[in-house]
A and B are shown apart, each in its own frame.
Chain A
Amino acid sequence: MRDRGWIYSGLGLFLILVTYPFWQNLRAGVTSKGPDLRRPAEAKQCVMPVSYMRTSHMDLLASWRENAVRDGVRTFQSADGQTYNVSLSGTCITQCHASKEEFCDRCHNYASVSNYCWDCHVDPRQAHGSAR
């Protein structure tokens, strides 16, 4: 009986915490607009259909990596018959998506994906030494 103050404070704290996303988003004026991506200017067609890339581009990169590093297969033939060089920095970033920051990173920040690939691989457009 004398514990009601404690119980109601605890319950109040719990309710505030579980509804935190609601009022935090309302307060910050967040919308469900999604990330603002810079799409490639010249290239019209990705190596795979967009719907596949949206969900599974890491699968493709994983198989590229596997094939290149383990089996020495350094070319990739897309469904429409075109042949690409297997290279994360060379093909994906340099050849098509002009900017890693405005494409990969914006999306990954939005979904809180940390890409450890860039611990080693570089974005060739970035100044030397600061590639990450």
Chain B
Amino acid sequence: MELTSLIAVAIPYAAIAIFLIGFSYRIVRWSLSPVPFRIPTVCGQQKSLPWIKAGYLESPWTRMGVVARMALEILLFRSLFRNTRAELRQGPKLSYLESKFLWLGALAFHWSFLVILLRHLRFFLEPVPAFVGAIEAADGFFQVSLPVLYLTDVVILVALGYLLARRIWNAQARYISLPSDYLALALLIGLAGTGVIMRYFTRVDVIAAKQFALGLATFSPVAPENLGVMFYAHLFTLSALIAYLPFSKLVHMGGVFLSPTRNLANDNRARRHVNPWNYPVKVHTYQEWEDEFREKIAAAGLPLERQ
């Protein structure tokens, strides 16, 4: 294998290793931090008396309720849906307005990304499972052009474009944007962009790409043949993204499951929660104290609780 092929093989493997180890490390680190108590910062009524209507999804008190709240959060980004913006209107009047575009853009991006990721299984599995074909058929439903245009390819670029434009043009968002925010967006835009260019414009030998991918996935890598610059750009952007993931804010893909305000049932009043790191405290109860000084208390004529 010549040097370029060696690099093309070594970099993805290194990236995957960094991702698997780094991601596990982050999750394990999080798992070690204690979760002492339920955090009832919710916008729903807590379960209390029977005649007070409690918010089952907003402030769940059962495990099923928590699962439902988590599912809404993870699949539909429910807390982002409540996003508002503050604006000064007619001089000194501060108004709070609904702001759904961020939610819409985020939802469009994440779901497209998931579909694209699943579609890519066609490169890594042989034979290709039927559900991948079903996803492709649904994604290319409108049968526009040849090769068929995938809706998610359009949606992901529009959504990422919006998310980037928002950081640049929205003054408040720009103010709190850090280089790492732009880096994550740049990597994702680069990844989707090179993929789209490769599929619809410069073209790539898909069979050779699959052979290369299968080589990686069977630990018997073969040199990529005539795959062109765009393929390498795509591969290395992806490698950079997954290697960077454990070090970045993108670990929220695992972290969202560990949000204490979302994943703990709000049963503070119904159940007794003992602080898990309580050490056994040596206590001296009033009863014991009274027994200890019984004679002296009686001699002084003070009242005794137990005669």
Name A residues whose Cβ lies closer than 8 Å to a Cβ of B. Answer: 1-4, 7-8, 10-11, 14-15, 18-19, 21-22, 24-26, 28, 30-35, 51, 54-56, 58-59, 61-62, 107, 109-114, 116
Q: Which chain A positions have C-beta within 8 A of B125?
A: 21, 24-25, 30
A7, A61, A110: the one within 8 Å of B30 (CB): A7
Q: Which chain B positions have C-beta within 8 A of A21?
A: 121, 124-125, 217
A-B contact count (CB 8 A): 101
Does the CB pair A58–B133 fall under 8 Å? no
Contact bitstring B76-113, A, C-beta under 8 A = 1, else 0 = 00000000000000000000000000000000000000
B126 within 8 A of A: yes
Name B residues whose Cβ lies closer than 8 Å to a Cβ of A. Answer: 20, 24, 27-28, 30-31, 34-35, 121-122, 124-128, 132-133, 136-137, 143, 145-147, 203-208, 210-212, 214-215, 217-220, 222, 226, 254, 257-258, 276-277
How far apart sit A112 and B137, CA to CA, in the bound complex (Å)?
A: 10
Does the CB pair A61–B207 fall under 8 Å? no
Q: Which chain B positions have C-beta within 8 A of A26?
A: 218-219
B148 to chain A, nearest CB (A): 8
How far apart sit A19 and B34, CA to CA, in the bound complex (Å)?
A: 30
A14, A55, A107: the one within 8 Å of B203 (CB): A55
Q: Which chain A positions have C-beta within 8 A of B219?
A: 22, 26
B169 to chain A, nearest CB (A): 36
How far apart sit A55 and B143, CA to CA, in the bound complex (Å)?
A: 19
Instruction: Supply 13 A–B pairs (Cβ within 8 Å), ascending by A.
Output: A1-B276, A11-B254, A15-B20, A18-B20, A21-B217, A22-B217, A32-B215, A34-B211, A35-B207, A54-B205, A54-B208, A109-B128, A112-B128
Q: A2-B276, A21-B125, A31-B218 are in contact. Are A62 and B145 (CB under 8 A)?
A: yes
Q: Which chain A positions have C-beta within 8 A of B28?
A: 8, 11
Q: A25-B217, A30-B126, A31-B218 are in contact. Are A110 and B207 (CB under 8 A)?
A: yes
Q: Which chain B positions have C-beta within 8 A of A8?
A: 28, 31
B203 to chain A, nearest CB (A): 4
